[in-house]
Chains A and B, each alone.
Chain A
């Protein structure tokens, strides 16, 4: 490119200015020096801010510790009334007549969790595979937000959806299905956690580099072979983590099971029967006329403690699995 004489002039002018301002350079340095002295307030802020941020981060840690402390203290109070062995080995839960065997509540929770997992994992994974590997941008941009709306629906709405829509629908297929049953509750909890499985798994699959897919296509793989033999294995840690997180969400789910699964502590694996989960019992005890300081009141904490251990274990499993199965790419 030829430099026009006009440009040349401008350039030389600028050069001249530069030369002239060399004398002023000292002033800039001077200004920096001056500002440095003024900066003491700013420096103090710089030092305070990290401490403040640490406090914010500490809130969640302290809350967890506080909850754990309360649970432990009240549980210990409960276990001085009822033996811990009876609590975990007994198979009859009727606190109003003094029977504190927690097995039916754990059984209820596991049953609902199992049903919801059977619903959410296949549906969520298929949805994730479709969104990540098959859907074009347009379709994905419509479906993904809708899927995430599903996660934003209040659980009480899901509860009544289970009770007034799903249960009658199932009753037309299974005539002797009770109004309150583990099946409808489990299915709806499953629907509720689909977005969690789908969205997190889709993220995991999406972050598998395209170079890997190309490598497989280059060897003559079909789309299905690429999805199941390259993308899924590479995204496995993320997928498993999403499933475990969704399961721990199902374990802790309260409102749907309180409304739709009934309030019958019942050690059964028949999903058509009415059951009670750990969370549903806590709601029942907290909203009923349980007197403060009674054994029933304390039993609430023992059940809460058990629930806490369950979700904690699930989270530890999720962490372990995502570390173990990580296929680095």
Chain B
């Protein structure tokens, strides 16, 4: 198990050494990593999502906007099946991750979540040291060797652009950090299992403007390697950082387009009303 991890680490390192090759590959595959088809979702008898179909592009930032209660967070949590933590949830339709049906019984939820990681609205580090927080994911998936864990922790914290701030404080409790630092440690924690997709549920709504700017900058860097889906109620943020934007209203996907198009030339009247601030 640990050997596999080591190999993987090496592969990633090589990739970072050759950024040019990487970006070429990027241009080639604007293909989608997650395909959602006719997704319906109910909480008990209340329907929260209606016939949502959208493709999430690989190594791009996809923003989901919409007023409170429009189902955007529910949709996000469906992508890694976290929504099923509420026992009364029922779904229909299909979600495919790299061509595999995530609702099929062969596809384990735990495996899905190692591929589709998540960052939450409120920073939620474990009450452990920074090191143990980042090492948590690799540890539960069988990585035990200290040298490998050290490497993963360093790489993940560097990936989350917080290594320089924290490298001398790795064994301090993560609760002693500021909110913005905690959130970036949570991002590092998600990176440590090397997912393909990172879901972010309003990751900056609990942060101050400076920390928000840092997280946004980080999202821009992360899309080199990861596909990112970010829920935000801040339209400027969506416009600043995303490549594609989806607008949800009352559980329906109203419009889904390239971010520039959606904001400058919305096709649907409701999208226009929302982005011009007429409601929401």
Contacts A211-B120, A214-B85, A219-B193; A225 near B127 (Cβ below 8 A): no
Known: A215-B126, A218-B190, A220-B110. A229 touches B136 (CB 8 A): yes
Q: Per-residue CB proximity of A225-244 to B under 8 Å, as 1/0?
A: 10001100110000000000
- Chain B residues, Cβ within 8 Å of A222: 110, 140
Which A79-94 residues have a C-beta within 8 angstroms of B? none
Cβ contact within 8 Å between B141 and A220:
yes
Which chain B residues lie closer than 8 Å to A329 at the CB level?
127, 175
- Complex partner residue of A215 from B114, B124, B139, CB under 8 angstroms: B124
Which of A218, A229, A234, A328 is within 8 Å of B113, CB to CB? A218
Report A-chain residues with C-beta under 8 Å of the C-beta of B111: 220
How many positions in chain B have a CB within 8 Å of any CB in the partner chain? Answer: 29
Contacts of B126 in A (CB 8 A): 212, 215-216, 230, 233-234
Assess whether A99 is interfacial by the CB under 8 Å rule. no
Q: A221: CB under 8 A from chain B?
A: yes
Task: Tell me the smallest distance from the CB of A209 to a CB of chain B, in Å.
Answer: 8
Q: Is A12 an interface residue (CB 8 A)?
A: no
Chain A residue with the shortest CB-CB distance to B112: A220
Q: Are A225 and B140 in contact (CB under 8 A)?
A: yes
B residues 137-152 near A (Cβ < 8 Å) are 137, 139-141
| Interface status of B253 (Cβ within 8 A of chain A) | no
Q: Is A320 close to B, CB under 8 A? A: no
Task: Pick the residue among A211, A216, A221, A327 that contacts B122 (CB under 8 A).
Answer: A211
CB of B127 within 8 A of CB of A327, answer yes
Interface centre among A212, A217, A230, by most chain B C-beta atoms within 10 angstroms, is A217
Q: Is there a chain A Cβ closer than 8 Å to B72's Cβ?
A: no
Contact of A40 with B by CB under 8 A: no
Which B residues touch A215, using CB under 8 A? 120, 124-126, 186, 189
Contact bitstring B165-206, A, C-beta under 8 A = 1, else 0: 000000001010000000000100110010000000000000
Residues of A within 8 Å of B122, CB to CB, are 211
**Could you say which residues of chain B place their CB within 8 Å of the CB of A136?**
87
A328→B127 contact, CB < 8 A: yes
Complex interface residues of chain A between 293 and 329 (CB less than 8 A to chain B):
327-329
B219 part of interface (Cβ distance < 8 Å): no
Nearest chain B residue, comparing its CB with the CB of A223: B110
B262 within 8 A of A: no
> Within the complex, what minimum Cβ distance (angstroms) separates B143 from chain A?
12
Q: Is the CB of B120 within 8 A of A219?
A: no
Give a binary string over B70-98; 1 marks a CB under 8 Å from any A CB, 0 the rest.
Answer: 00000000001010010100000000000
**A217: chain B residues within 8 A (beta carbon):** 82, 85, 113
- B residues in contact with A209, CB < 8 Å: 124
B49-65 CB contacts (< 8 Å) to partner A: none
- Assess whether B117 is interfacial by the CB under 8 Å rule: yes
B118 within 8 A of A: yes
B193 in contact with A233 (CB, 8 Å): no
Complex CA gap A229/B140 in Å reads 9
Q: Which residues of A contact B193 (CB under 8 A)?
A: 219-220
Flag if A219 contacts B136 (CB, 8 Å): yes
Question: Do residues B136 and A211 form an inter-chain contact, with CB atoms below 8 A?
Answer: no
User: Chain B's nearest CB lies how many Å from the CB of A83?
Assistant: 51
- Minimum CB–CB distance from B11 to chain A (whole Å) comes to 20
Q: Does B29 contact A (CB under 8 A)?
A: no
Q: A216, A220, A225: which has the most chain B beta carbons within 10 Å?
A: A220
User: Is the C-beta of B8 less than 8 angstroms from some C-beta in chain A?
Assistant: no
- Interface contact A219-B113, CB-CB below 8 Å: yes
The B-contacting residues of A in range 192-214, CB under 8 angstroms, are 209, 211-212, 214
**C-alpha gap A185/B193 in the complex (Å):** 51
B128 adjacent to chain A (CB < 8 Å): yes
Smallest beta-carbon distance A289→chain B, Å: 59
Question: Which residues of A are at the interface with B, using a C-beta cutoff of 8 A?
Answer: 136, 209, 211-212, 214-222, 225, 229-230, 233-234, 327-329
**Seed contacts A214-B85, A221-B140; 7 additional CB < 8 Å A-B pairs:** A211-B124, A215-B126, A215-B186, A216-B140, A220-B141, A222-B110, A233-B126
Q: Can you sample 18 A-B contacts with CB below 8 Å?
A: A211-B124, A212-B124, A212-B127, A214-B124, A217-B113, A218-B117, A218-B120, A219-B114, A219-B136, A219-B189, A220-B113, A221-B110, A222-B110, A225-B140, A233-B127, A233-B128, A234-B127, A329-B175
